[in-house]
Amino acid sequence: MLIKTPDPIKPSQITDKQQYLNRRQFIRDTTKFGMAGALLTSATGLILPAETALAGTKLSTVKNHEFSTDEELTPYDAVTSYNNFYEFGTDKRDPASRSGKFKPQPWSVAIDGECMKPGVYDYEDIIKPHQLEERIYRLRCVEAWSMVIPWVGIPLGDVLKRFEPTSRAKYVSFTTVMRPDEMPGLRRDVLRWPYREGLRIDEAMHPLTILTVGLYGETLPNQNGAPIRLIVPWKYGFKSIKSIVKIEFTHKQPKTSWNISAPHEYGFYANVNPEVDHPRWSQGKERRIGDFLKRETLKFNGYGEQVAALYNGMDLRKHY
């Protein structure tokens, strides 16, 4: 009989970063080669692991163990080269290849709506008072693929409280920056720009929800939503809005971009839910980037223990 004991030490704690990046990269290369091999039957060649460029600035963080998963990390290279960020183009490669002109600093965020301290705050003003945490979360895209990413961020609730939301603040709405000169995808109205997302106030205040400024211990690359983005790990990736320039407390449920674009396909809640299919594809399974076989998708992306109570009494088929 095989007895499995949970390993309390995470790989990232015992291996230095570059080393584990290389190892993950190697694993990914070999899996990919295997896939190509399956198709091509005969293929020989030398595979050199691609250079993993680390362009960001180091951030000093403490690791949050309470909410982090110890699943294998998706390699840095994959996290930063396979993105949905339509402001730079609709191809998964566009955000990495077409975001070179984007300037994430200096940056400020406008705080508005039902709160006592609205105003325009510099990036530093927002982040400085807080301790940055590393949190390793699963990310589940609505397109049925997933990653495991070590984000760096702060609980959104802690930040929002500083602006003193009033009792009328029932929702929080977020807006992405719009800079056509730096974001070539904005030239075409694929979605209604600027990109907008929203959360119910209790979702925004939930300790799992983070305002994110980095990944893999460094500042966010442009393609991942520099310099400041949202991460809501129990919802489909499109809820985790990137490059935020405006946060507004609202009384009414805010309009959100994908919901405007296709209301019967993308709801306001967009909680990961294998029981409710996208009208055009199944949400029952997902492919973890780097894996060959798909795996079962978990309800609330596996964060049900923490967040299911937020939706007590709600029909999640109706509120998809």
| 15's tokens | 């291996």
Stretch that binds another protein, among 62-70, 126-134, 171-179, 186-194 (CB under 8 A): 186-194
Candidates 84-92, 153-161, 167-175, 228-236 — which segment interacts with another protein by CB under 8 A? 84-92
47, 53, 309, 314: residue in contact with another protein (rule CB under 8 A)? 47
Distance of CA 176 to the CA centre of its chain: 14
Name which position in 20, 85, 86, 171 contacts another protein (CB under 8 A): 86
Q: Which residue, 51 or 305, has its beta carbon nearer to another protein?
A: 51
Contact code string over 27-46 relative to another protein, x by CB under 8 A: -xx--xx-xxxxxx--x-x-
What's the rounded Cα separation, in Å, for the pair 302 and 102?
A: 34
Please list every residue from 266 through 305 that binds another protein, using CB under 8 A. 280-282, 285, 287, 289-290, 292-294
Contact between 190 and another protein per CB under 8 A = yes
Nearer to another protein, 86 or 151 (CB): 86
Query: Which of 85, 81, 269 minimizes the C-alpha distance to 182?
Result: 85
Q: How many residues sit close enough to another protein to count as binding (CB under 8 A)?
A: 42
Q: Which amino acid is at 198?
A: G
For residues 285 and 319, which CB has a smaller minimum distance to another protein in the complex?
285
How far apart, in whole angstroms, are the C-alpha atoms of residue 200 and residue 232? 12
81 binds another protein (CB under 8 A): yes
Shortest reach from residue 281's CB to another protein, in Å? 6
Q: What single letter denotes the amino acid at residue 147?
A: M
**What residues from 132 to 151 belong to the interface with another protein (CB under 8 A)?**
143, 145
Beta-carbon contacts of residue 33 (< 8 Å; ≥ 6 apart): 43, 47
Which residues have a Cβ under 8 Å from the Cβ of 53 and sit 6 or more positions away?
A: none
Closer residue to another protein, CB minimum distance, 120 or 260: 260
Site residues (CB under 8 A) for another protein, limited to 197-226? none
| Sites of contact with another protein (CB under 8 A) | 28-29, 32-33, 35-40, 43, 45, 47, 50, 74-75, 77-78, 81-82, 86, 90, 92-93, 143, 145, 188, 190-191, 258, 261-262, 280-282, 285, 287, 289-290, 292-294
